[in-house]
Amino acid sequence: MAYSELIKNFGRIRAYMRAFYVYGFRRRDEYGQKSARSYDDERRRLESWLGDCMGFRQDASGRRFFLSVDSRAIDRNPLYRAFRAKSFTDRDIMLHFHLLDILAASGDMPIFDIMEALAERLNTFDAADYPDESTVRRKLAELGKLGLVGKEKKGRETRYSRTADGVNLESWREAIDFFSEAAPLGVIGDFCRDKLKPRPSLFRFKHHYILNALDGEVMLALLETIAGGREATLAMGRRRVTVAPLKLFVSVQTGRQYVLAWSPWNRDFSFFRLDAIDTVKPGDAAQLPPDADARLRTFMGRVWGVSGNRSEATTHLEMTVFADDGEGHIPRRLEREKRCGRVERLDGHHWRFIADVYDALEMLPWLRTFTGRITELKCDDPRVTERFYGDLAAVAALYGGDGDAVS
């Protein structure tokens, strides 16, 4: 069978892209979810999209490929290319172009005139396969959902026409360039860029979280359920959970995306990683407790990252930081990044950060960024201070310092 570019399910493409490139290219004998022929078809498809973004390394078992992207050298996320692949039958393609061309040339038309114009075009082909009226109406409805065709009721007659593209995207170029690479659902901006004349972007990103592109469909489905106030069934491998999605979060440290949801089975809030969700199936209206808003505010006032629940006791942490004259950026940074904590000024050179959180261990990566300025660190959970000073001592020893002197 010849290799086919057509795809039916983006979820499957998403899984293959992760297995092949994000987590390291798996060889035929390592990927047991599909047949060898399916493996070859998917590999060739992904190579056609990402061939210029592939790297490899040689080991004892052979050559392994993986995704290799230098953010300084690209201005567009290459993973968006996967969204441009769609499954079309021969009739889909034929109707897509013929109908748009007929409406562009003739203005608004009723379905009878469209069918006549279509038949006249197809008569020029031998053994033409004429679609029936219901098929054409369905295709027009599909084009209408894409914003390409409009319809208007005039008396008892429905007339179809091409929609006008009156938006001047050129004036939004910089905003579109930034949105497409930095914002959730940036694939929308990337499609807008296709309508603009090619020009180098003004932006390059040091921390470019391109893998979020693969979660675009999941995020859109979650946003739709949140907007509709509905429950959603999340499929994560063999696991199925029904929750009420409430908010979406994006980590500024890792770029990972999460959904915060109310979980009816344990009557509490839970976080779910979007890259662990295969599909989102909307359900009935969300059944939230009467005091859900108050509970959510309390919860958000005690969670630092994505760990913890209301049944856990909070941990108290205090960090005192030194800032010399002319280093006002240090207290400003504390204020900007304090999240659910608070900042107190002790004197002209010392500021104290205070927080009560469910899981203080989540704060360690952030606390380490103030190394060299921390004059005191106290926490109810001894694991936090032990790990902080232990890691500091290990680094000092690694670089030839006296690790025992760190306290």
**With b meaning 16 or more CB within 10 Å and e meaning fewer, what string describes 177-212?**
bbbbbeebbbbbbbebbeeeeeeebeeeeeebbbbb
User: Which CATH number is 247's domain given?
Assistant: 2.30.30
Specify the pLDDT at position 4: 45
Tell which wins on pLDDT, 19 or 389.
389
User: Which CATH number is 129's domain given?
Assistant: 1.10.10.10
Instruction: Provide the sign of the torsion angle of the four alpha carbons 26, 32, 33, 37, taken in this order.
Output: positive
How large is the average pLDDT for residues 71-88? Answer: 79
How large is the average pLDDT for residues 196-225? Answer: 88
Same domain? For 235 and 283 the reply is: yes
Specify the pLDDT at position 208: 83
Residue 207 reports pLDDT greater than 50: yes
| 228 belongs to a structural domain | yes
| 393 belongs to a structural domain | yes
| 350 belongs to a structural domain | yes
Q: How far is CA 312 from the centre of its chain?
A: 30
Same domain? For 291 and 348 the reply is: no
**In this predicted structure, which of 63-72, 108-117, 213-222, 300-309 has the lowest mean pLDDT?**
63-72
Domain that holds residue 245: 217-300
User: Which CATH number is 334's domain given?
Assistant: 3.30.70
CB–CB of 297/327 below 8 Å? no
Q: At what angle do helices 133-145 and 111-122 cross, to 10 degrees?
A: 110
Q: How far apart are CA 230 and CA 329, in angstroms?
A: 43
| 82 belongs to a structural domain | no
Same domain? For 286 and 359 the reply is: no
Specify the pLDDT at position 30: 65
How large is the average pLDDT for residues 290-295? Answer: 91
Residue 209 reports pLDDT greater than 90: no
Residue 307 reports pLDDT greater than 50: yes
DSSP characters for 220-255?
A: HHHHHHHHTTEEEEEEETTEEEEEEEEEEEE-TTT-
Burial class (CB in 10 A: 0-12, 13-18, 19+), 156: exposed
Q: How far apart are CA 341 and CA 387, in angstroms?
A: 21
Same domain? For 372 and 319 the reply is: yes
| 309 belongs to a structural domain | no
Residue 228 reports pLDDT greater than 90: yes
CB–CB of 391/374 below 8 Å? no
* Strand bridging mode 342-345 / 268-273: unpaired
Specify the pLDDT at position 69: 77
Tell which wins on pLDDT, 278 or 88.
278
pLDDT digits (tens, 9 = 90+) for 21-47: 666 666 666 665 666 667 777 777 777
Of 148-162, 247-261, 346-360, which has the strongest mean pLDDT?
Answer: 346-360
Long-range contacts of 166-175 (CB under 8 A, 24+ apart): 169/195, 169/196, 170/196, 170/197, 173/199, 174/202
Chain mean pLDDT for the chain: 85
246: its two tokens: 């409430």
CB–CB of 272/234 below 8 Å? yes
How large is the average pLDDT for residues 313-339? Answer: 95
pLDDT digits (tens, 9 = 90+) for 122-139: 887 765 677 889 999 999
Residue whose C-alpha is closest to residue 4's, from 87, 92, 66, 109: 87
Q: Is 352 helix (H, G, I), strand (E, B) or coil?
A: strand
| 294 belongs to a structural domain | yes
Same domain? For 384 and 320 the reply is: yes
Residue 18 reports pLDDT greater than 90: no
3-state helix, strand, coil in the chain (%, to 5): 40, 20, 35
How large is the average pLDDT for residues 217-230? Answer: 94
How large is the average pLDDT for residues 231-257? Answer: 91
Same domain? For 386 and 349 the reply is: yes
Q: What backbone phi and psi angles, to 5 degrees, belong to 110?
A: -80, 165
How large is the average pLDDT for residues 249-261? Answer: 89
Same domain? For 110 and 70 the reply is: no
CB–CB of 358/303 below 8 Å? yes
Specify the pLDDT at position 3: 39
| 394 belongs to a structural domain | yes
Q: How far apart are CA 259 and CA 220, in angstroms?
A: 12
Residue whose C-alpha is closest to residue 54's, from 64, 45, 62: 64
Task: Report residue 2's pLDDT band, with 50, 70 and 90 as the boundaries.
Answer: very low
Same domain? For 350 and 333 the reply is: yes
Torsion of CA 197, 202, 204, 208, to 10 degrees: -60
252: its two tokens: 């500024």
Specify the pLDDT at position 277: 93
What contacts 290, CB < 8 A, 6 or more positions away?
none
| 3 belongs to a structural domain | no
pLDDT digits (tens, 9 = 90+) for 173-182: 999 999 999 8
Helix (H) or strand (E) holding 260: strand 257-263
Same domain? For 372 and 321 the reply is: yes
Beta strands in 138-237 (DSSP E): 149-154, 157-162, 230-236
Q: How far apart are CA 93 and CA 87, in angstroms?
A: 10
How large is the average pLDDT for residues 265-287? Answer: 91
Q: How far apart are CA 147 and CA 161, in angstroms?
A: 11
How large is the average pLDDT for residues 214-242? Answer: 93
Helix (H) or strand (E) holding 315: strand 315-322
Same domain? For 185 and 226 the reply is: no
**In this predicted structure, which of 125-134, 211-220, 266-275, 360-369 has the lowest mean pLDDT?**
125-134
The last residue of a domain, from among 43, 75, 107: 75
Task: Report residue 380's pLDDT band, with 50, 70 and 90 as the boundaries.
Answer: very high
The last residue of a domain, from among 300, 326, 345: 300
Residue whose C-alpha is closest to residue 303's, from 358, 231, 362, 351: 358
Task: Report residue 367's pLDDT band, with 50, 70 and 90 as the boundaries.
Answer: very high
Tell which wins on pLDDT, 215 or 106.
215
Specify the pLDDT at position 285: 94
Tell which wins on pLDDT, 315 or 255.
315
> Domain tally for the chain?
5
Distance in Å from the first CA to the final CA of the chain: 68
Residue 371 reports pLDDT greater than 80: yes
HSE-up (13 A, CA, CB side) for residue 57: 9
